[in-house]
A and B are shown apart, each in its own frame.
Chain A
Amino acid sequence: MTVAPLEVKGLTKQFAIGSALRRAHVHAVEDVSFELRPGTITALVGESGSGKSTVARLIARLHDPTGGAVLFEGSDVSRVRRRDDVLRYRSQVQMIFQDPFGSLNPVKTIRHHLERPLRIHHVVPRGEIRGRVNELLATVGLVPPEQVAAKYPYELSGGQRQRVAIARALAVEPKVVLADEPTSMLDVSIRIGILNLMLRLKEERQIAFLYVTHDLASARYLADDMLVMYAGQIVESGPVEDVLADPKHPYTRLLLEAVPDPGNRFRAGRVEQRKGGASAAVDPREGCRFVARCPIAVDVCSRVTPALVAIGGGRAARCHVTAPAERLEAVHAGR
């Protein structure tokens, strides 16, 4: 078993909303724990407002967590402030964003975008920078590299821009890459190319990927493990094939039923659900956050918050009905 370069423990983030007198807190991320292993892609799925992007941004140090820790090679980096320490962390953990149009500077060439991280992080001696830029472009399939490097972002298509963003992330030779919906703004026919590139990088460079998405089919295609988030909490986790073949949490099941897929075997008839959603994370009361939408809720669900319970086979679920805590050891207790 290889050591996880990155581990998240009890990660929690609250955002204050409302005025000073009527202050409420969105529990955007609550007690989230998982690890990212080398050569493994972990998918983090959920609907908008579930907190999945916030998790990625907390790991990338774009927000400060309210509680919990982000351990990089064993030491907590979630509160490092010194410039050197932050730089060292960022040279190991990189992020790719959803919008390939907004993440590149329109007045700078592609070469500029790729040279910058090489200089800032002193990855290679000055004389080798040009050659390294070309290597990076070739790695992400942008050829001929010399020509592409001379171009400006507007001269590239969305898919090519996302490849530049990936090349930029790779420039510092990171151990961990956080990809936040990297294909959702791209055309259908070029999404697979980006997913295949991530698969290749995982294998060739043993990068640990976090793939944040709302698309279950692409998560299945790409990922080894899967975490399902709902209203700030992880409600189910496990190997992706196992989770999708036999979802334990009613929310995972609802997501699966809703995916457009001709002949979806999870959809017996109409997909029924009750109302609810991300608002369940605003000053949550005791009880399961999914209870208002849950088709199988029982009395206890609105009174007692379920724990994420290990159910064997590397899987865990947060549900009183399908993964009762009695007799089974709570995941938290094990930590």
Chain B
Amino acid sequence: MTDVAERPATVPVTPAPARRETLLELRQLAVEYGRVRAVDGVDLDIGAGEIVGLAGESGCGKSTIANACMQILRPPARIAGGSVLFQGEDLTGKSNEELRKFRWRNVSMVFQSAMNALNPVMRVGDQFVDMMRAHQHVSRRRALAQAGYLLETVGIDKRRVRAYPHELSGGMRQRVIIAMALALQPELVILDEPTTALDVVVQREILQQIQEIQRELRFAVLFITHDLSLLLEIAHRIAIMYAGEIVESAPSAQLASHPLHPYTQGLLASFPPLRGPLERLTGIPGAPPDLADPPSGCRFHPRCPHCLPSQRDLYVRQTTERPRLREVEPGHLVACHLVEEGTA
């Protein structure tokens, strides 16, 4: 369709692990903030030990999905439909006490500004101890020793358990939080823009550490970011969100070499290359829609370069009918009328 397919087909990504049991399943999940539907009918599977990337622009609903997975949505946000299944059990019906035990032990989460969540007047080690003793019977001494070990795994000297948060740099504090998220060996770790507030060199270090620990401990990761180029490196599979919906999902290498949705193509064409020939990029015209009043039909149609009144029949469908997410190749799903028509 456009020239973005020229991206290198040989993207060096970690091969996805052989398909194992599904850990987390979102089924037709819908989340509303008052009358605004921020997430609208999302299906997403995360297998055990799999790194799944979720990319999209601000306001597309990707963080809302993270909060729904952890069941930490606060009013006015509420789940308006669908289910969140973890190892087959629906989380939406669970009591607060059940959820309290489930969080951190089964699923943990690191936020973008998580480094500011550390208690400033408490030593880092004591914050580990508090969290671990809230979830399991463990002596203070053992918990502290475990904290030291966890800090070492994220590249921080274990003696830093005695440090206060202000004695650590932003990147170190973020790593402390990542270490805490791994403390109870959860099956799934949700990383919501974990490195966005950090410098590129620090970001690189943290990503490398996450990848190394993940290879060793084999937990699943839901990695949420606006930075698609980062996901292409780290994720096994990537889902692209636009205006509350998943519009495309595919293995990372496939998505990079054969993006099918015009939005994915536009996103990929929004990152100037660091090497190779330099062409004038176009980005994507317009701006993401207001979800209080989403466009009719395909939500991307007002910005889509292939939505032209001259192609009458297609145009009518694009502007009135919502495309469904369909599997077009094994593991490659896309919601686009062009693909259905075979004109993509």
- Docked Cα-Cα span, A194 to B121, in Å, equals 43
Contacts of B272 in A (CB 8 A): 192, 195, 217-218, 220-221
Tell whether A263 pairs with B11 under 8 Å between CB atoms, given A217-B271, A220-B274: yes
Contacts of B8 in A (CB 8 A): 262-263
Contacts of B57 in A (CB 8 A): 187-189
Contact between A259 and B200, CB atoms less than 8 A apart: yes
B275 at the binding interface (Cβ < 8 Å): yes
B46 at the binding interface (Cβ < 8 Å): no
Contact between A187 and B226, CB atoms less than 8 A apart: yes
Contacts of B11 in A (CB 8 A): 262-263
Contact between A255 and B200, CB atoms less than 8 A apart: yes
- Docked Cα-Cα span, A192 to B285, in Å, equals 10
* Contact string against A for B residues 197-239, beta-carbon threshold 8 Å, 1 for contact and 0 otherwise: 0011101110110000000000000000011111011000000
B12 at the binding interface (Cβ < 8 Å): yes
Contacts of A195 in B (CB 8 A): 272
Contact between B274 and A259, CB atoms less than 8 A apart: yes
- Candidates B7, B270, B275, B282; contact of A265 at CB < 8 Å: B275
Contacts of A261 in B (CB 8 A): 229, 233, 273-275
Tell whether A192 pairs with B205 under 8 Å between CB atoms, given A47-B200, A160-B287, A217-B274: no
- Docked Cα-Cα span, A255 to B205, in Å, equals 12
- Candidates A187, A216, A258; contact of B58 at CB < 8 Å: A187
Contacts of B230 in A (CB 8 A): 260
Contact between B283 and A190, CB atoms less than 8 A apart: yes
Closest chain A residue to B58, Cβ basis:
A187
Contacts of A199 in B (CB 8 A): 280
Contact between B228 and A270, CB atoms less than 8 A apart: no
Contact between A258 and B226, CB atoms less than 8 A apart: no
Contact between B270 and A191, CB atoms less than 8 A apart: yes
- Candidates B201, B208, B288; contact of A254 at CB < 8 Å: B201
A103 at the binding interface (Cβ < 8 Å): no
Closest chain A residue to B234, Cβ basis:
A260
Closest chain A residue to B290, Cβ basis:
A157
- Docked Cα-Cα span, A47 to B200, in Å, equals 8
Tell whether A188 pairs with B226 under 8 Å between CB atoms, given A218-B272, A257-B204, A271-B205: yes
- Docked Cα-Cα span, A214 to B204, in Å, equals 14
Within 8 A of A (CB), among B23-43: none
* Contact string against A for B residues 262-274, beta-carbon threshold 8 Å, 1 for contact and 0 otherwise: 0000110111111
Closest chain A residue to B171, Cβ basis:
A277
- Main SS of the interface on chain A? helix
Contact between B270 and A47, CB atoms less than 8 A apart: no
Contact between B267 and A189, CB atoms less than 8 A apart: yes
Contacts of A105 in B (CB 8 A): none
Tell whether A192 pairs with B281 under 8 Å between CB atoms, given A47-B199, A217-B272, A258-B200: yes
- Docked Cα-Cα span, A157 to B270, in Å, equals 18
Contact between B274 and A187, CB atoms less than 8 A apart: no
Within 8 A of B (CB), among A239-258: 244, 254-258
- Docked Cα-Cα span, A254 to B201, in Å, equals 7
A65 at the binding interface (Cβ < 8 Å): no
Contact between A221 and B281, CB atoms less than 8 A apart: yes
A147 at the binding interface (Cβ < 8 Å): no
* Contact string against A for B residues 235-269, beta-carbon threshold 8 Å, 1 for contact and 0 otherwise: 00000000000000000000010000000001101
Q: B42: shortest Cβ distance to chain A, in Å?
A: 20
Q: How many residues of B contact A (CB 8 A)?
A: 43
Contact between B274 and A244, CB atoms less than 8 A apart: yes
A264 at the binding interface (Cβ < 8 Å): yes
Contacts of B281 in A (CB 8 A): 192, 196, 221
Tell whether A271 pairs with B204 under 8 Å between CB atoms, given A187-B58, A217-B271, A217-B273: yes
Contact between B288 and A187, CB atoms less than 8 A apart: yes
Q: A184: shortest Cβ distance to chain B, in Å?
A: 10
Contact between A262 and B266, CB atoms less than 8 A apart: no
A38 at the binding interface (Cβ < 8 Å): no
Closest chain B residue to A256, Cβ basis:
B274
Q: A59: shortest Cβ distance to chain B, in Å?
A: 23
A322 at the binding interface (Cβ < 8 Å): no
- Candidates B201, B229, B282, B284; contact of A47 at CB < 8 Å: B201
Contacts of A324 in B (CB 8 A): none
Tell whether A262 pairs with B229 under 8 Å between CB atoms, given A190-B284, A191-B270, A214-B200: yes
Contacts of A259 in B (CB 8 A): 200, 274
Tell whether A188 pairs with B208 under 8 Å between CB atoms, given A258-B203, A263-B8: no
Contacts of A262 in B (CB 8 A): 7-8, 11-13, 229, 232-233, 256
B169 at the binding interface (Cβ < 8 Å): yes
Q: B33: shortest Cβ distance to chain A, in Å?
A: 18
Q: B301: shortest Cβ distance to chain A, in Å?
A: 15
- Docked Cα-Cα span, A48 to B170, in Å, equals 11
Contact between A260 and B282, CB atoms less than 8 A apart: no
B278 at the binding interface (Cβ < 8 Å): yes
Contacts of A220 in B (CB 8 A): 272-274, 278
Within 8 A of B (CB), among A289-320: none
Contact between B274 and A264, CB atoms less than 8 A apart: yes
**Would you mind naming 20 contact pairs between A and B with Cβ atoms under 8 Å apart?**
A187-B57, A187-B58, A188-B57, A188-B226, A189-B57, A189-B266, A189-B267, A193-B285, A196-B282, A214-B199, A215-B200, A216-B200, A258-B200, A260-B227, A262-B7, A262-B233, A262-B256, A263-B11, A265-B275, A271-B208
5 A-B pairs closest in CB distance: A192-B283, A221-B272, A258-B204, A189-B284, A260-B230
Given A188-B270, A192-B272, 8 new contacts (CB under 8 A): A48-B199, A189-B267, A192-B282, A199-B280, A214-B199, A218-B272, A260-B230, A277-B169
